[in-house]
Amino acid sequence: MVEAPAGVEGQGFFATSLDTVIGLARANSIWPLPFATSCCGIEFMATMGSNYDLSRFGSERLSFSPRQADLLMVMGTIAKKMAPVLKHVYEQMAEPRWVISVGACASSGGIFDTYSVLQGIDRIIPVDVYVPGCPPRPEQIIDGVMKIQELVKSESLRRRNQPEYKALLASYGIE
């Protein structure tokens, strides 16, 4: 059960702001798009399995199409040749969208300090939450998703119209 947001309660009615209700609904029905390229993706499979069960947090339904996904989960080493593909996937996602970078490789290049590997996905797309680890345990991935939930709950509904957000996307060259 999700706890009710702060509001005014009386007999037969409950009043709160629309923002918090929609934030609550969004936070508990996030559709993740797993972009799994290596061993962090294996940990994600365990995260989705019955032992750890990410669907307890409303992320029941994985979307393998970026157009329906809310959360891009990048898990694994991103080669420089893969970078335009990842950016393309991000650009196809509809607002509102969030990005979680799982593991050392996606966050910073990790041990692959080499000419062929992208040194962190934040060089090509904005990232909301970083999950450290090589690979992180399923608990850590769940913690990262819960951090995303906190963001989703507290964020303005029309984040896409905010000047800071527009400036952030423009700094990545994303329309």
Partner 1 sequence: MALTQETTLARLQDHFADAILSHDAPYGFLTIEIPADRNLDVIGFLKNEADLAFGYMTDLCAVHMPNQPGREIAVVYHMHSLTNNVRLRLKCWIPEANPEIASATPLFAAANWMERETYDFFGVRFQGHPNLKRILNVDEMEMFPLLKQYPLEDSSREDKDDRFFGR
Contacts of 126 (CB under 8 A, 6+ apart): 99, 168, 169, 172
Segment interacting with partner 1, rule: CB under 8 A, options 10-18, 39-47, 91-99, 108-116: 108-116
Segment interacting with partner 1, rule: CB under 8 A, options 46-54, 115-123, 143-151, 153-161: 115-123
User: Which of 28, 38, 119, 140 is in the footprint of partner 1 by CB under 8 A?
Assistant: 119
Indicate the helix (H) or strand (E) that contains 65.
none
Rounded-to-integer distance, Cα 175 and Cα 153, Å: 25
* Beta carbon of residue 127, minimum distance to partner 1 (angstroms, whole number): 15
Rounded-to-integer distance, Cα 155 and Cα 169, Å: 17
86 is an interface residue for partner 1 by CB under 8 A: no
Q: Give the residues lining the site for partner 1 (CB under 8 A).
A: 80-81, 108-109, 113-117, 119, 123
